[in-house]
């Protein structure tokens, strides 16, 4: 077996294969996976149904290649979004780098083996989008009377592997400037983290702004187009235009975005361009881009990967600080623990990046997505509450991923055993962790509320509801996440990514938290359909969001009544 295959197999097995202490745990895991498949399956099936109509209309209107291009691009953006954190951790901050560099393996081999592990993980995300879409697309195309060649099947298989590979290679290339930023600001870690986050946000904006610009040009309003009265309170639901009419208006816009992404357009053209030389030429162009990106990734890996990994090893995976030692001041145990908690996140590059992303991304996404939904959706009074619903969902989705709570215990690693030796009540240890997690979440909620206000789409009552509801909701969810992690922590890890891989304890709070978000989002939109004044709609929304948060808070408080000391004692 070649060194590359041997290493890839071992790394993949270690990172991705779940291990179970007993049969009961295995059964529980399988049951949760089924629940997850059902939960994620519903939106996937709904998207597929939507895609069928879209693709059918696209065939009729002659935009099929552009639509495929956009679907492929979306899959890649999802991969980049989820892949960046996993990539940086697996590549640079994994504890196995020191071990791997002592083995007689070239650093480029280590790079590719690790990249494949990240790729296998990301394949799951992209396959959920690409494969069903291509199958449904084929059905829609054939039912529209258009024929498909064998190239469609071949390129679909290639697309499933190559599109995420390209996305991961882009992530790999993006990681170098990111790591260089951290190196440059090594002595000012917070500044480094802020600039790194701004860099990532800028990258997303570069991808996103052309899409935003293109989609804002779509005009799906009726002939009057005047919505000012509706926003100001005269709620009325206009007659909906038919799906075909809507597609005929949306498709020219989508085609602009699809055309803007050359590599996915080449892929789409190679699949749909018939059997001729033209399709072959596009396939070669697409494969050429993949080969070029692979060559670039290998070149950069040879030049920089080992160098940057060594630097992380030398710094022990932490960010340094230039600050001079302050004179010792006696703190209370509570304050000392809180300070330790803050430093454990802010002095660790990996945790700092993720904490920063989860704090900074929601307000940015809230601002842009709410703005976009308001400008591109059917503009009526309820589009205001579509924006409210989006803001609700985004804040809650990001909030339930707050690692200060979800992996509060696990991220201590084996250091948790040292923590257990401290002469401090376990309740106090948990209390400090919860307080820190809440502060992190509340900052996110505060910033997101400000971003939402800046969009200018909603009235003050909705803003108050959004703020109050989410502050309470985050307090509840942090408590639940921390409790789940305390109940079954994963402290024996080599790479922080291992904590969340195949970890039901971190998934369940995310599901529970997201369910509340979905409910409030639907409720916000549904309430807006009522023929009442917008302020009254906002008031009802307020009652719902705060009410749901209160229910969550008290239900979780009741559920987490277990003896903290006993749970802490059980950690082994």
- Under the rule (CB under 8 A), what is the footprint of other proteins? 1, 3, 6-7, 10, 13-14, 17, 19, 95-96, 98-99, 101-106, 186-187, 307, 310-311, 313-315, 320, 492, 494
SS3 81: helix
Tokens encoding 349:
């590059």
Query: Where are the alpha helices (H) located in 332-402, listed in sequence order?
Result: 333-346, 349-376, 381-399
* Burial environment of residue 363 by CB neighbours within 10 A (0 to 12, 13 to 18, 19 or more): buried
Least separation, in Å, of the C-beta of 349 and other proteins? Answer: 14
Read out DSSP for 247-284? HHHHHHHHHHHHHH-HHHHHHHHHHHS-SSHHHHHHHH
Q: Which is nearer to other proteins, 186 or 557 (CB)?
A: 186
Token pair 């991220």 is found at 411
CB of 556 to other proteins, least distance (A): 31
Minimal distance, residue 334 CB to other proteins, in Å? 32
Residue 31 CB, nearest approach to other proteins (Å):
22
CB of 81 to other proteins, least distance (A): 27
Residue 26 or 307: which CB sits closer to other proteins? 307
Q: Which is nearer to other proteins, 3 or 375 (CB)?
A: 3
In the Cβ-directed half-sphere of 377, how many Cα atoms lie within 13 Å?
20
Token pair, residue 309, equals 């990994």
Which of 241, 234, 273 lies closest to 151 in space, CA to CA? 273
Which residue, 185 or 467, has its beta carbon nearer to other proteins? 185
Sign of the Cα torsion 13, 15, 21, 26 reads negative
The residues that bridge with 318 in the sheet, in sequence order, are 348
Nearer to other proteins, 45 or 103 (CB): 103
Instruction: Give whichever of 315 and 459 is closer to other proteins, judged by the CB atom.
Output: 315
> Cβ of residue 95: shortest distance to other proteins, in angstroms?
7
Nearer to other proteins, 112 or 541 (CB): 112
Report the nearest approach of other proteins to the CB of residue 160 (Å).
26
State which residue, 459 or 501, has the beta carbon closest to other proteins: 501
CB of 527 to other proteins, least distance (A): 49
Alpha helix stretches (DSSP H) within 92-149 = 97-102, 107-143
Q: Backbone phi, then psi, for 256, in 5-degree steps?
A: -65, -45
Give least dist CB 315 to other proteins, A.
7
The residue to which tokens 């992190």 are assigned:
440
Q: Which is nearer to other proteins, 178 or 405 (CB)?
A: 178
Contact 118, 86 (CB under 8 A): yes
Q: Could you tell me the smallest distance in angstroms from the CB atom of residue 344 to other proteins? A: 20
Looking at the Cβ atoms of 51 and 319, the one nearer to other proteins is 319
DSSP secondary structure string for all residues of 291-322: HHHHHHHHHHIIIIIHHHHHHHHHTTTB----
The residue behind tokens 């008290």 is 554
Q: Please, which residues have CB within 8 angstroms of residue 120's CB and are 6 or more apart in sequence?
A: 12, 16
Two structure tokens written together for 314: 């030398």
Q: Which is nearest to 395 in space by CA: 493, 327, 468, 330?
A: 468
């Amino acid at each position: 077996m070649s060194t590359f295959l041997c290493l890839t197999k071992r790394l993949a097995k270690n990172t991705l294969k779940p291990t179970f202490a007993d049969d009961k745990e295995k059964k529980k895991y399988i049951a949760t996976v089924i629940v997850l498949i059902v939960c994620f399956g519903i939106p996937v099936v709904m998207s597929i149904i939507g895609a069928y109509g879209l693709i059918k209309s696209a065939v009729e209107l002659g935009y099929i290649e552009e639509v495929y291009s956009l679907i492929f691009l979306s899959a890649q953006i999802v991969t980049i979004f989820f892949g960046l954190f996993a990539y940086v951790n697996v590549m640079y901050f994994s504890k196995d780098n020191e071990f791997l560099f002592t083995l007689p393996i070239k650093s480029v081999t280590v790079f590719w083996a690790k990249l494949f592990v990240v790729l296998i993980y990301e394949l799951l995300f992209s396959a959920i989008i690409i494969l069903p879409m291509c199958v449904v697309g084929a059905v829609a195309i054939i039912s529209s009377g258009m024929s498909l060649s064998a190239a469609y099947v071949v390129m679909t298989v290639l697309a499933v592997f190559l599109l995420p590979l390209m996305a991961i290679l882009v992530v790999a290339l993006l990681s170098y400037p990111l790591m260089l930023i951290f190196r440059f600001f090594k002595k000012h870690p917070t500044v480094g983290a802020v600039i790194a986050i701004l860099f990532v946000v800028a990258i997303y904006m570069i991808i996103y702004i052309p899409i935003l610009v293109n989609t804002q040009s779509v005009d799906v309003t009726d002939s009057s187009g005047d919505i000012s009265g509706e926003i100001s309170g005269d709620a009325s639901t206009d007659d909906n235009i038919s799906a075909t009419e809507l597609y005929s208006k949306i498709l020219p816009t989508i085609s602009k975005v699809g055309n803007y992404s050359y590599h996915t357009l080449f892929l789409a053209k190679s699949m749909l361009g018939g059997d001729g030389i033209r399709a072959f030429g596009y396939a070669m162009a697409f494969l050429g881009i993949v080969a070029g990106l692979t060559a670039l990734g290998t070149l950069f890996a040879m030049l920089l990967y080992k160098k940057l990994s060594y630097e992380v090893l030398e710094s022990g995976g932490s960010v340094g600080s230039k600050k001079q030692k302050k004179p010792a001041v006696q703190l209370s145990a509570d304050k000392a623990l809180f300070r330790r908690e803050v430093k454990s996140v802010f002095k660790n590059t990996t945790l700092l990046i993720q904490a920063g992303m989860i704090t900074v991304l929601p307000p940015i996404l809230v601002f842009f997505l709410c703005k976009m939904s308001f400008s591109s959706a059917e503009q009526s009074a309820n589009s205001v509450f579509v924006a409210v619903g989006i803001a609700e969902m985004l804040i809650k989705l990001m909030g339930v991923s707050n690692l200060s709570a979800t992996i509060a215990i696990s991220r201590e690693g084996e250091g948790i055993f040292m923590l257990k030796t401290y002469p401090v009540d376990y309740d106090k240890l948990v209390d400090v962790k919860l307080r820190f997690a809440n502060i992190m979440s509340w900052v996110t909620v505060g910033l997101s509320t400000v971003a939402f206000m800046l969009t200018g789409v909603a009235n003050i009552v909705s803003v108050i509801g959004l703020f109050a509801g989410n502050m309470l909701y985050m307090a509840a969810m942090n408590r639940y996440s921390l409790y789940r992690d305390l109940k079954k922590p994963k402290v024996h890890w080599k790479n922080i990514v291992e904590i969340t891989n195949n970890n039901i304890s971190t998934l369940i709070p995310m599901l529970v938290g997201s369910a509340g978000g979905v409910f409030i989002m639907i409720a916000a939109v549904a309430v807006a359909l009522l023929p009442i004044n917008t302020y009254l709609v906002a008031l009802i929304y307020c009652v719902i969001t705060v009410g749901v948060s209160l229910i969550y808070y008290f239900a979780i408080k009741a559920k987490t009544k277990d003896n903290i000391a006993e749970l802490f004692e059980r950690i082994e």
